[in-house]
């Protein structure tokens, strides 16, 4: 029988262990958009005092295979041996953590480079130059092995301090995002280069530049520091004189708040800019705005990008449009706002994708404060008459849309086939609703043309028409029967039961081969076959019959029926004038 060991007063220390490979792999896969590499590269260059970074992406042949190769080159202070070993290749180490102005703090950013087949680092600092290479880092981590970077001293690789990083096979060689306009847009919105700090008087990085060349370009494009905003243009009278009812589309008013301090958490401050911008002025400065159908080109709608962004280090982290309540008129009024709120007290997740680690009480107070600022903007717009401009613009657009629709329909009508019956012009129907209208007109002009009298029409629910049977051939105890309308009769599953339908009126059959085809009703087994008979007086007669049921559903092929009964043909030779 087992016995418990005697209690002792001596404690045994436990050394917690970490599965380094698993942690590395989780961080590597924690990044989403492949272009997040740009954010990390630019932040690292700035933290190392660079005045420029050169970024190029290309597809090269490596061992006979096409591989995406991304090259990052800056003129910063370079990387030391300890920083290479720990901060660059390790996890959780950061040389920037104790530097107040630095962006990097978690030691995770460079780990995005490990989503690749090969990483080569060449760096020169004030003392020495080094080369570090890591082959197949992602493969090793995915196979439960640590990546194996190597390091050596080399002669100076360039004539200034700085770092060059070449990443081969990045992100499974996915390169659809490495197009110049897409990468430039990302840089100007989601990296330090897109900062609004110059608007609040911070000019430390005013001279920093990105030199970008993506797969579709042969020359580098220089991207200057600072987020692109349109010029202020808020004189409503001048706007109206120039643009008439479209004045609201060219309106720009910028609101800036610096060093705002929370009351309940006075240690927390934030800076904010909200630019109120009309639709056309947005499109004038942002070439990526377009139809969502063009998403493959990287373009997006204003509603997918604009509103209020929460930032840290002046880099947007997450959009907080749920903070915008009661602003403007309509659910999409938030697209008028091109705003950023920067708060250095935010605690970010490892991939910088969320502020979920921030104290909820701080977030609640920050939200309340920002909402008051938005309310102030809203009140000023109302007092200035901006919303009146929007109403005028909408009225003008509605008038323009109605005019275009009217002209389109008139043009279409003039091309339509028509016939004339007792002085009335009849248009060939193009849909079920027009078929119903034509049927009612025919019944009005020729009451004896059909064996039924339509009494009730309802296309919203159930079968289209209830009609009175004028003959003695009742199929139920009632004198009333259903009529189903089909512009074109085709052999797809019928969306009704056949039992109470007496007639199907269609403008035409999908094709003449439809005779002999089977139609399946909603009550299985309920299969009807389309038959055709020739009557010397009546002409062609169509009906649906079932093998085990005596009742038949007559199909009136109206185009043929009118030609046979009335000699009525529809032609485009006599257009409507």
Q: Is residue 230 part of a domain?
A: no
Looking at residue 95, its pLDDT comes to 55
Choose the weakest-confidence range: 28-32, 117-121, 328-332, 417-421. Answer: 28-32
As given in the structure block, the two tokens for residue 178 are 């490495």
Q: Is residue 259 part of a domain?
A: yes
Nearest Cα residue to 438 out of 480, 503, 487, 481: 487
Q: Is residue 471 part of a domain?
A: yes
Same domain, 500 and 438: yes
Q: State yes or no: pLDDT of 293 exceeds 60.
A: no
Q: How far apart are CA 286 and CA 284, in angstroms?
A: 6
Same domain, 431 and 354: no
Cis omega (within 30 of 0) for bond into 525: yes
- Based on the structure, what is the number of domains in the chain? 3
Identify whether the C-beta of residue 519 lies closer than 8 Å to the C-beta of residue 530: yes
Same domain, 31 and 173: yes
As given in the structure block, the two tokens for residue 460 are 């919203």
We report the CATH number of the domain holding residue 27 as 3.30.565.10
**H or E element: which one contains 256?**
strand 252-261
Q: Is residue 150 part of a domain?
A: yes
Looking at residue 175, its pLDDT comes to 92
Q: 65-74 and 315-319 as β-strands: parallel, antiparallel, unpaired?
A: unpaired
As given in the structure block, the two tokens for residue 343 are 């708060």
Last residue of a domain, one of 223, 249, 277: 223
Q: Is residue 550 part of a domain?
A: yes
Looking at residue 21, its pLDDT comes to 62
Choose the weakest-confidence range: 289-293, 364-368, 429-433, 528-532. Answer: 289-293
Identify the domain containing residue 160 by its residue range: 20-178+211-223
Q: State yes or no: pLDDT of 365 exceeds 90.
A: yes
Chain Cα centroid distance, residue 87: 36
Q: Is residue 573 part of a domain?
A: no
Nearest Cα residue to 527 out of 551, 550, 544: 544
Looking at residue 296, its pLDDT comes to 57
Nearest Cα residue to 79 out of 111, 44, 104, 52: 44
Last residue of a domain, one of 195, 223, 251: 223
Last residue of a domain, one of 192, 223, 254: 223
Same domain, 217 and 254: no
- Find all residues with CB under 8 Å of 436, minimum gap 6, and list them: 457, 459, 464, 465, 485
Choose the weakest-confidence range: 191-200, 229-238, 470-479, 568-577. Answer: 470-479
Q: State yes or no: pLDDT of 63 exceeds 80.
A: yes
Model confidence pLDDT, tens digit, residues 393-411: 777 777 667 777 777 777 7
Looking at residue 288, its pLDDT comes to 94
Identify whether the C-beta of residue 55 lies closer than 8 Å to the C-beta of residue 220: no
Same domain, 249 and 377: yes
Same domain, 434 and 380: no
Same domain, 471 and 338: no
Q: Is residue 4 part of a domain?
A: no
Same domain, 300 and 433: no
Residue 259 region by backbone torsions, left for phi larger than 0, else alpha for psi between -120 and 50, else beta:
left
Same domain, 428 and 333: no
Cα separation values, 488 from 203, 503, 534, Å: 69, 15, 21
Mean pLDDT of the chain: 86
Model confidence pLDDT, tens digit, residues 64-109: 999 999 999 999 999 999 989 888 887 765 555 455 566 755 445 6
Same domain, 283 and 381: yes
Q: Is residue 328 part of a domain?
A: yes
Angle between helices 386-415 and 236-243 (to 10 degrees): 20
We report the CATH number of the domain holding residue 381 as 3.30.230
User: Apex CA 363: angle with CA 362 and CA 367, to 5°?
Assistant: 120
Q: State yes or no: pLDDT of 246 exceeds 60.
A: yes
Same domain, 217 and 242: no
Same domain, 219 and 242: no
């Amino acid at each position: 029988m087992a016995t418990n060991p005697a209690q002792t007063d001596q404690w045994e220390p436990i050394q917690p262990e970490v599965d380094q490979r698993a942690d590395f792999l989780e961080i590597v896969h924690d990044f989403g958009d492949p272009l997040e590499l740009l954010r990390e590269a630019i932040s690292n260059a700035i933290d190392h005092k660079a005045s420029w970074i050169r970024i190029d992406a290309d597809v090269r042949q490596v061992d006979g295979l096409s591989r995406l190769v991304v090259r990052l080159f800056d003129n910063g202070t370079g990387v030391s041996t300890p920083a290479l070993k720990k901060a660059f290749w390790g996890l959780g180490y950061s040389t920037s953590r104790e530097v107040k102005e630095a962006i990097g703090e978690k030691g995770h950013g460079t780990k995005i480079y490990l989503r690749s087949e090969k990483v080569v680092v060449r760096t020169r600092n004030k003392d020495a130059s080094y080369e570090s290479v890591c082959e197949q880092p992602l493969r090793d981590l995915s196979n439960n092995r640590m990546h194996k970077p190597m390091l050596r001293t080399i002669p100076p690789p360039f004539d200034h301090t700085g770092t060059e990083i070449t990443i081969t096979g990045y992100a499974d060689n996915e390169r659809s995002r490495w197009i110049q306009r897409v990468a430039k847009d990302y840089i100007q919105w989601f990296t330090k280069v897109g900062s609004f700090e110059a608007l609040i008087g911070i000019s430390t990085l005013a001279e920093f530049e990105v030199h970008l060349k993506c797969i579709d370009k042969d020359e580098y494009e220089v991207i200057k520091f600072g987020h692109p905003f349109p010029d202020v243009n808020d004189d409503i009278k001048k706007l109206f004189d120039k643009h008439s009812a479209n004045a609201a589309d060219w309106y720009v008013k910028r609101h800036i708040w610096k060093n705002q301090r929370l009351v309940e958490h006075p240690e927390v401050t934030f800076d904010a800019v909200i630019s109120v911008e009309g639709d056309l002025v947005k499109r004038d400065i942002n070439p990526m705005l377009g139809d969502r159908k063009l998403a493959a080109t990287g373009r997006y709608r204003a509603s997918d990008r604009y509103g209020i962004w929460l930032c840290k280090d002046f880099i947007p982290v997450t959009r907080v449009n749920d903070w915008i309540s009661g602003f403007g008129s309509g659910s999409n009024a938030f697209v008028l706002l091109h705003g950023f709120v920067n708060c250095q007290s935010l605690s970010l997740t490892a991939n910088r994708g969320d502020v979920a680690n921030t104290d909820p009480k701080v977030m609640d107070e920050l939200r309340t404060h920002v909402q008051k600022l938005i309310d102030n903007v809203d009140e000023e717009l109302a007092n200035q008459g901006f919303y009146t401009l929007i109403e005028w613009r909408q009225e003008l657009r509605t008038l323009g849309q109605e005019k275009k629709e009217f002209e389109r329909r008139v043009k279409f009508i003039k091309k339509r086939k028509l016939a004339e019956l007792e002085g009335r012009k009849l248009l060939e129907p193009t849909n079920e609703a027009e078929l119903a209208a034509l049927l009612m007109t025919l019944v009005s002009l020729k009451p004896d043309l059909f064996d039924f009298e339509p009494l009730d029409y309802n296309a919203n629910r159930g079968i289209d028409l209830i009609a009175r049977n004028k003959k003695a051939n009742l199929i139920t105890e009632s004198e009333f029967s259903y009529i189903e309308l089909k512009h074109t009769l085709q052999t797809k599953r019928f969306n009704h039961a056949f039992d109470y339908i007496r007639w199907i009126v269609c403008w035409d059959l999908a094709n003449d081969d439809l005779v002999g085809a089977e139609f399946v009703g909603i009550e299985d087994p309920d299969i009807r076959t389309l038959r055709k008979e020739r009557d010397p007086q009546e002409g062609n007669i169509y009906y649906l019959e079932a093998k085990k049921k005596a009742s038949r559903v007559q199909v009136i092929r109206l185009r043929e029926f009118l030609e046979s009964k009335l000699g009525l043909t529809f032609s485009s030779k006599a257009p409507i004038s």
